Amino acid sequence: MQIGPLLMVAACGGNGSSSSVTAPGSPTLNSATAGDRQAVLTFTASTSGGAATTYNGDCTATGVTTRSVTGSSSPITVTGMTNGTTYTCGVTAVNSAGSASSASKSVTPVAASSGGSSGGSTSELDTTKLPLGDYLMTTTTPQVGYLYLCSSNAGKFQKGDAGPWFNGTNSGSTTTATTWDLTKKLYVAVTKAATGTLSSTFSVSWPSIGGNGLPGHNTGDFPITDTTLKQYDGNPNSIKSKTIAWGLPSTPTYHDTPSCVGYGAIGVFLTGARLFAATDAVSRDARAWEITDACGGHPSTDAYHYHSLPACGLTADVAGQHSALVGYASDGFGIYGNLGEGGTALKSSDLDKCHGHIHAGAPSSEYHYHTTDDFPYTVGCFRGTAATTD
C-alpha cells in the first residue's frame, strides 16, 4: 500500500483572503527510467515546506532541445527525447510562493522500451543474440545494462576455449563475437542429490541470514570431467559447504549514487546458495563463458554460486503476475524474478543502472532488483549500503 505525503492546504481567513503560503521543499527524485524517446521520473514529495501545486519534470542534454512536462504527482513522463542521448533530469515542486528542485539523475532513452515503472519492453529479448557482457563492464560510471565493478581483471589469461554458442569467429580462448546464443549453451547434467554432505541448511530471520551455502536442489557433478565440456571450462573445484552468517541492513536505504560490486558474493538466492556478480575472474561475461550445471550454479574454490537466476529450487513465475522474491542483495534490497508489473518480462533497458527499479508511486524503500536474461542478469551495482558478505 502506498502512503503518500500529506499536502496541507492553508485555510482561508474570514475576509476571504488566504493565509500566507510557504514555498515547497525539494522533492526526492527516486529514479529516472529510460523508455523509447522518453524518461519516467518517479519522485517523492517533500514533507517540509508548503504544498506544491504542480511539479515540473525537466530533461536537458547538450545539443538537443530541453524537454519539460508539468504534472500534479509522481510519476512524470517526459516525452519527445532523443534515443541514445544522455539527459540530465530533475523534478521541481512549484507553488505561488516559490519552487524547489530535486537532485538530478542521468538517463539515456532507448528504442523499444517502455520504462521500468510501467512494466517491460515493447519488444521481446532475442536469447539467440544476447549481448556479450565482456564489453559491458565499467569501473568508472554506472550505466544501464552494465556491470559496475570496483576493479577490473580484464586482459588476464583464463584457460578454456570459446564455445560454439558465441556468434563470432573463435580461436582458442578468444572470440570476435559481441553476442552469444543462450539456446546453444552447454551445461553439466544435474545428477548429484542434495543429500548427505550436500544437504542444504538455510534460514532467514531478518536481518540475519544463515546457512551452509549449499543449494536446496540437486546439482551437477564437479570437477568437470566430461571431455567436451572440459575444453571450454576445466573447472577443477568440487562442491562443498561454506558458512553463511550474514547480517544485512535491517532497513535498506536507497542512495542516488550507486556503489560498485566485487568479484565474490554480492547476495544470496533463496535456494541457500550465493549470488556472484556477472563477471568471471578475468572480467568476462561469466554466464556466457563459464560452464555451470543445468540449474545455473557451479563451485569456485570454496563456494557453490550462481551468476544469474537459478533454474531450480525457486518459486515458479505465474503468468500475468509480478515475480516472487527470489533472494537478497548484500545491501538488503530484495531480488525478484524476471516478471514486472502485470507479469511483463523485463530486460536490462527496462531497469535502472543497478538493474532494479521502484514501482510508480512507491517509496524509495520499496526499491528492488530484478533478474533478466540479458547482461548483467542480476545486480549491476548496489543502490544501498552493502554489508560484508563472503
Tell me the whole-structure pTM to 2 decimals: 0.70
Beta strand extents in 258-387 (DSSP E only): 265-269, 274-276, 297-299, 304-306, 325-329, 334-336, 356-357, 368-370
Same domain, 231 and 132: yes
- At residue 224's C-alpha, the angle toward residues 218 and 228, to 5°, is 115
Q: Is there a domain that residue 353 lies in?
A: yes
Q: Which domain holds residue 321?
A: 120-390
- The mean pLDDT of 260-289, rounded to a whole number, is 97
Please state the rounded mean pLDDT for residues 150-179: 90
Considering the domain boundaries, does residue 84 fall inside one?
A: yes
288 and 178 inside one domain: yes
- Can you tell me the mean pLDDT for 342-351? 94
Work out the pLDDT band at 117, boundaries 50, 70, 90: very low
Half-sphere exposure at residue 177, Cβ-oriented, CA atoms within 13 angstroms: 28
Contact 233, 222 (CB under 8 A): no
Chain segment 91-106, per-residue pLDDT in tens: 999 999 999 999 999 9
| pLDDT for position 16 | 43
Residues 187 and 222 in one domain: yes
How many other β-carbons are positioned within 10 Å of the β-carbon of residue 170? 15
Residue 139 within a domain = yes
* Digit-coded pLDDT (tens) for 120-151: 444 578 999 999 999 999 999 999 999 999 99
Same domain, 91 and 175: no
How confident is the model over 163-173, as a mean pLDDT? 94
Does residue 8 surpass a pLDDT of 60? no
| 178, 172 Cβ separation under 8 angstroms | no
Question: What pLDDT, on the 0 to 100 scale, is given for residue 123?
Answer: 55
**Is 165 in the same domain as 302?**
yes
pLDDT mean over 290-311? 97
What is the tens place of the pLDDT at every residue in 57-92? 999 998 778 889 898 888 888 887 877 788 899 999
Q: Given a cut of 80, is residue 17 above it in pLDDT?
A: no
Mean pLDDT of the 339-356 span: 95
The pLDDT of residue 63: 79
Q: Are residues 213 and 82 in the same domain?
A: no
- How much is the pLDDT for 111? 56
CATH of the domain at 34: 2.60.40.10
As a whole number, the mean pLDDT across the chain is 89
Q: Would you say residue 321 has pLDDT above 90?
A: yes
User: Into how many domains does the chain fold?
Assistant: 2
CA-to-CA distance for 234 and 128, rounded, in angstroms? 25
